[in-house]
Structure 1
Amino acid sequence: MKPGVTLHENFERTASRFPESVAVTDGRTQLTYRELDERAERLAGALRAAGAGRDQRVGLCVERGAELVVGLLGILKAGAGYVPVDPAYPAERREFVLGHCDSGLVVAHAATAPLVEGRRVVRVDALPETVTEAPAGHQAADAESLAYVIFTSGSTGEPKGVEIEHRNAVRLFTATAPVFAFDETDVWTNFHSTAFDFSVWEIWGALFFGGRLVIVDRDTARDPQAFLTLLRRERVTVLNQTPSAFRNLINVDEGQPLDLRYVVFGGEKLDYRSLKPWVERHGIETPALVNMYGITETTVHVTWKVIGEADLSGEGDSLIGKPIADLRLAVLDEQGAELPIGTEGGLHVAGAGVARGYLGHPELTAARFVERTLADGTTERWYDSGDRGVQIAPGQFAYAGRADRQVKIRGYRVEPGEIEAVLQQHAAVRDAVVLVADFGSGDPRLVAYPLVEAGTDAEALAAELKEAVAAALPAYMAPSTYLAIDELPVTVNGKLDESVLRKRLEVQLAEAADSAREQSAAGGSVEDALRGIWAEVLGTDAAAIADGDEFFDLGGTSFSLIHMLSVVNDRYRLSLNVGTLAEGANIAALAAAVQNQLALTSR
């Protein structure tokens, strides 16, 4: 592997060393390094003939498989940068990515060509038999040329395209080679979508060192048991996982031997305690567990830390270790001043991995990629990650989370991870996620999603978890709702899919609203009418609310209490206030207060 040259030139060097070794397999097709190189050359010729060249952006819309790697490599050999468009994307997202990149040329195959209609398509599954010569004036790529554009979520809702150059990606492997000592005996999985930059590490980690890349199809990636079977069958040695995806793998793993040398974590904050069941079965040394903090804008990974036994009980911030050799990490305050060891602040990154910038967003690029003046008077380009962290010792860092991970509930700052840790102590809970949801009118509440075995008595579990939380945490940290799940949903990138969990809450709230309306329509006692109001405000089943249940024990907040009283006052034309419930916020006490005021107003 040679620094200062392109990704594809480094691949060609590897292909010349291991021409007959298997480079990529997908369960249906396998290609040797020679075959992969030849097919990519033929695709590159067709792309060059279609006008692809240096710093142009060519779409890549191919289902997971060996052809995906041919497409990626062919685009680079043509001199262009690839723009991954996951076929699973909604049409609007596909159009946004390709339109923003001005990608009139797209590599696809028979199954995906209809998804990119209106653009010139070069089919990776219909290649010319020979390599087309480059047209006159064609510009080949060099180390400073564009390699790929990967889009990340934007705070405004519009995705941002991050431009990475060949030099950024190549140095990721030259800088980490002494740490991992990858070689031609390694078998890697490509578990993640090419639209997620973890795939850059997976694909080139195999192809730079002569290893074998196993493409994981979408269905297998979503089925932890099937994926575990693949790991055994293919004798995978290097596994890269987001913590959320690995949690699901842990839950189906029974401790049978694997050939893994490394499990590398990235993409999310790692809770070390979640690894205990894995370590109990497989030990801590083989495979080695490595936590790598990283950002798309700084080329996949920034730091690395080999996890030790003592780390597994670690509470608080997630240890991320030290920066990769050619990067620098600093913890700064809001004014850009470096903070002392032990003080939390914003994580900023400098060095050879820092991206070119955001495509088509010069102002945002200038705001996030900042020239910083150092103590010696020199300036250096740094990236403001938007993450929070702390330097725990010279050169050693911990990740605290996104700047917006910490939330405010009733004026108190709350870290959801602290609540998750309490829930995870319950014997029936394999894992847990706590999110903040707006229950309407700016009423933010905590919602807990305990991961349990299918068939678990959710109502009994919720009662036990409420007791555990009440015993361990202040009242303002108590979740309002508990929704049991039997699997952690993940996105195509392997990250926790919060939208699925939020949809689950929406369904429950809709059911609760129906229950409340039925309760109100049925008429009956004041108690029953109030039960219906509580059910709608709390997002719970009216039938589950007993006369003596306390409003706050059912998940109510001070805000929702006021809202509930407002609904009651409107219904009965009363003027009840919070003081009315000083002796107890339950249906019995509230019904008595309503009846007393009604009696007074009727005189």
Structure 2
Amino acid sequence: MADTDCLHEAFSRRAAQSPRRVAVSCGTEQITYAELDARSTVLAERLRRCGVGRGSRVGVCVDRSICLVVTVLAVVKAGAAYVPVDPENPAGRVAHVLSDSEVALTVAAIRTADALADWSGPVLWSDADESDDPTAVEAPSEAAEPSDVAYVIYTSGSTGAPKGVEVEHRSAVALLERAGELYEFDELDVWTMFHSVGFDFSVWEMWGALLFGCKLVVVPAQVTRTPALMLDLLRRERVTVLSQTPSAFRGLVAADAAAGPPAELSLRLVVFGGERLDVAVLAPWIGRRGDSSPVLVNMYGITEITVHATHRRITAADLEHPSVSPIGVALPGLRVEPRTADGRPVPDGEPGELFVAGTGVARGYLNRPELTAQRFVVLDGQRWYRSGDSAALVDGELVYLGRVDRQLKVRGYRVEPGEVEARLLSCARVGTALVTARDFGDGDVRLVAYVAPPPAPDPVAPTEAELTAAVADLPGYLRPSRFHVVDDIPVTAQGKADVDALVALTETRPATVAAHTAADPTATAVKAIVDEVLVRDVPVDGDLFDHGATSLSLARVIAMVNNRFDLALTGAELEEPTIACLSDVVGSTRRPGALQEVGG
């Protein structure tokens, strides 16, 4: 691998070296490097016959599967940039990304067709006969250059619409080449692809595995939501390299602690990224498994600087300073420095905005020249990205302090509150909206919305149903898990929204509506637990994740249910994440006599 490579070129060379090695597995299916290379080449030829070539952008709407990896490889082999969309996102969001990025066409699987319900552009169905492919003038077979865009990933936008970040091949290759030197990745490693293809952490996971000849295990969606299943996958697949947001790892830590004696794992490296790492969350893990097997590494980065920019090994000694979030030093080829708003360096120990320069800095925002000029700046003849993150240099290492602007991090996703607020303000009965993040305990961070009706002699407050409908076409991570309707948004003496005052005004638990479960004491008790954890009235048949649940909050629900019914459930028993299903599981596994105890 070299800076003069494109991603697919580095992959094809690796495939030629290890053709029979398993490249990707998902569930019971697997594919070798030779097969992956061949299948992606065939699909790339189909794309060229549909007019896709160098400089094109192609949407990718494929679920977690081997087909997803084949498709991404095929797009870059055709010379184009892939624009990934998560099929689990609302159809309106998917259509906006595909339209805004002006894709030539979208590659999808038939089983993800519902996600394209609002998309009217051409679609190539990867698992259908090519006789149905869109017709166009065949593109010339012109190879991409390292300076060409490899992918465009969309992040939350402060103006109410997501924005696309253009990242070139050479930036992604440089990241993996330098990280490979640090962590000695080789073909004996087994990586997981845990994160959504629409989240830039997936770039590190997928290409990191493929460019070093490793096995990539694509993690099914249900497994990512159930820490006990994820722990079993790590053991069964003998995973050696795991990437996690701290929020996701909290659930894994809890599942590991609940599993009795530590299960034997093959992990040698756990990489944290995507959001602030509070080292205290690692105390139970380090207490059980130590800090050297696996090695724990915190890597700071964002989409605009190609996933990761710094690295710092976390050890047991860091637990002595739980309030510090260390992000370490820059990766080779990058400069990461705290600076003032106008780009001047700040003295050691003083906070400043992180500016990043070097090989990882993206091309910019797609079709947004003004925003690109604001965030990508030239200082002393070098191009820097203004991250909006605050940090300080202490004893030669960077310490993360938080956001300079309003941007939030929720389970690794970047959230611009303005995007969510804009949707809420589209509701006629909303005059003011404020969205912030709250920790509901144990690092279970969710969005909370505060809304007030417009000024009127006799204002009519919006209903929760209206507010839920206003954000229904946003991805799950952008939907508030709780709505608070207030008379007005209080402000501080400086004229800023007083979030502390809002929390004090609304710090009440919802009344649990259990009349329809009164005939079933088990369901009543389970519903009460769910409502307590999610801080809302959840329908018995409602999908918990659609009502604000996260993997962390689900783990808390399971723990409370186990305590209440004297069980040892892991969450893996649930066929669907609903109160009804959980109640059925409890009813079928509880010991005799438990029903009377619950009713008492």
Same fold (TM over 0.5): yes
Give 2:482's aligned amino acid.
R
1:54 and 1:146 in contact (8 A); partners too: no
Aligned to 1:6: 6
Give 1:319's aligned amino acid.
P
Q: Does 1:120 align with 2:122?
A: yes
Is there any run of 5+ residues in structure 2 with no aligned partner, and where? 132-136, 409-435, 455-473, 488-503, 512-600
Is there any run of 5+ residues in structure 1 with no aligned partner, and where? 374-378, 408-415, 424-428, 443-491, 511-535, 544-603
Alignment equivalent of 2:395, drawn from 369, 393, 396: 393
Q: Does 1:157 align with 2:137?
A: no
Distance 1:153 1:236, change over 3 A: same
Distance 1:104 1:432, change over 3 A: closer
1: CA distance, partners of 2:506 / 2:102 = 48
Q: Does 1:502 align with 2:503?
A: no
1: CA distance, partners of 2:445 / 2:36 = 42
Aligned to 1:21: 21
Distance 1:136 1:24, change over 3 A: closer
Alignment equivalent of 1:197, drawn from 196, 200, 209: 200
Aligned to 2:357: 350
1:276 and 1:312 in contact (8 A); partners too: yes
1:386 and 1:402 in contact (8 A); partners too: yes
Distance 1:337 1:52, change over 3 A: same
- TM, length-normalised to structure 1: 0.68
1:177 is displaced (CA, Å) by 1.5
Aligned to 1:58: 58
1:125 is displaced (CA, Å) by 1.8
1: CA distance, partners of 2:76 / 2:101 = 16
1:437 is displaced (CA, Å) by 5.9
2: CA distance, partners of 1:294 / 1:284 = 22
Q: Percent identity?
A: 48
Aligned to 1:69: 69
SS of 1:157 mapped into structure 2: coil
SS of 1:196 mapped into structure 2: coil
1:143 is displaced (CA, Å) by 0.5
Aligned to 2:33: 33
Query: Highest Rg: 1 or 2?
Result: 1
Spell out the pairing of 1:440-459 with structure 2 (5 A cutoff).
Answer: 440=452
Aligned to 1:297: 304
Aligned to 1:525: none
Aligned to 1:580: none
1:430 is displaced (CA, Å) by 4.5
SS of 1:305 mapped into structure 2: strand
Distance 1:37 1:316, change over 3 A: same
1:404 is displaced (CA, Å) by 3.8
2: CA distance, partners of 1:296 / 1:541 = 37
Aligned to 2:343: 336
Q: Does 1:259 align with 2:253?
A: no
Alignment equivalent of 2:333, drawn from 321, 326, 336: 326
Distance 1:498 1:232, change over 3 A: same
1:370 is displaced (CA, Å) by 0.2
Give CA deviations for 1:501-537 in whole Å, capped at 9, x if unaligned: 435x67xx99xxxxxxxxxxxxxxxxxxxxxxxxx96
1:2 is displaced (CA, Å) by 2.5
2: CA distance, partners of 1:297 / 1:433 = 24
Aligned to 2:217: 214
2: CA distance, partners of 1:136 / 1:498 = 38
Distance 1:106 1:497, change over 3 A: closer
1: CA distance, partners of 2:13 / 2:212 = 10
Alignment equivalent of 1:146, drawn from 146, 149, 155: 149
2: CA distance, partners of 1:247 / 1:537 = 30
Distance 1:230 1:336, change over 3 A: same
Aligned to 1:101: 101
1:220 is displaced (CA, Å) by 1.0
Give 2:343's aligned amino acid.
G
Which structure ranks higher in relative contact order (CA pairs < 8 Å, sequence separation ≥ 6)?
A: 2
2: CA distance, partners of 1:164 / 1:541 = 45
1:160 is displaced (CA, Å) by 0.9
SS of 2:111 mapped into structure 1: coil
Distance 1:342 1:205, change over 3 A: same
2: CA distance, partners of 1:432 / 1:542 = 19
Distance 1:67 1:136, change over 3 A: closer
- TM, length-normalised to structure 2: 0.69
Distance 1:538 1:305, change over 3 A: closer
Alignment equivalent of 2:180, drawn from 177, 180, 193: 177
Distance 1:4 1:542, change over 3 A: closer
Q: Does 1:283 align with 2:290?
A: yes
Q: Does 1:187 align with 2:190?
A: yes
2: CA distance, partners of 1:80 / 1:245 = 32
Give 2:152's aligned amino acid.
V
2: CA distance, partners of 1:434 / 1:122 = 36
Distance 1:542 1:382, change over 3 A: closer
Distance 1:37 1:382, change over 3 A: same
Q: Does 1:310 align with 2:310?
A: no
1:228 is displaced (CA, Å) by 1.0
Give 1:144's aligned amino acid.
S
SS of 1:400 mapped into structure 2: strand
1:84 is displaced (CA, Å) by 0.2
Give 2:222's aligned amino acid.
D
Alignment equivalent of 1:238, drawn from 229, 238, 241: 241
2:204 and 2:307 in contact (8 A); partners too: yes
Give 2:186's aligned amino acid.
D
2: CA distance, partners of 1:431 / 1:440 = 28
Give CA deviations for 1:358-393 in whole Å, capped at 9, x if unaligned: 0010000011000112xxxxx100000011111113
1:42 and 1:127 in contact (8 A); partners too: no
1:432 is displaced (CA, Å) by 5.8
SS of 1:25 mapped into structure 2: strand
1: CA distance, partners of 2:449 / 2:480 = 13
2: CA distance, partners of 1:438 / 1:291 = 33
Give 2:402's aligned amino acid.
G
1:144 is displaced (CA, Å) by 0.8
1:498 is displaced (CA, Å) by 7.3
1:227 is displaced (CA, Å) by 1.0
Distance 1:94 1:433, change over 3 A: closer
Distance 1:403 1:38, change over 3 A: same
Give 1:206's aligned amino acid.
A
2:446 and 2:481 in contact (8 A); partners too: no
Aligned to 2:279: 272
1: CA distance, partners of 2:104 / 2:151 = 16
1:500 is displaced (CA, Å) by 4.8
1:332 and 1:338 in contact (8 A); partners too: yes
1:122 is displaced (CA, Å) by 1.7
Distance 1:244 1:55, change over 3 A: same
286-295 vs 108-117, which moves further? 108-117
1:6 and 1:141 in contact (8 A); partners too: yes
1:40 is displaced (CA, Å) by 0.1
2: CA distance, partners of 1:123 / 1:110 = 6
1:3 is displaced (CA, Å) by 2.2
Distance 1:281 1:48, change over 3 A: same
2: CA distance, partners of 1:238 / 1:334 = 37
Aligned to 2:497: none
Distance 1:176 1:96, change over 3 A: same
1: CA distance, partners of 2:187 / 2:509 = 59
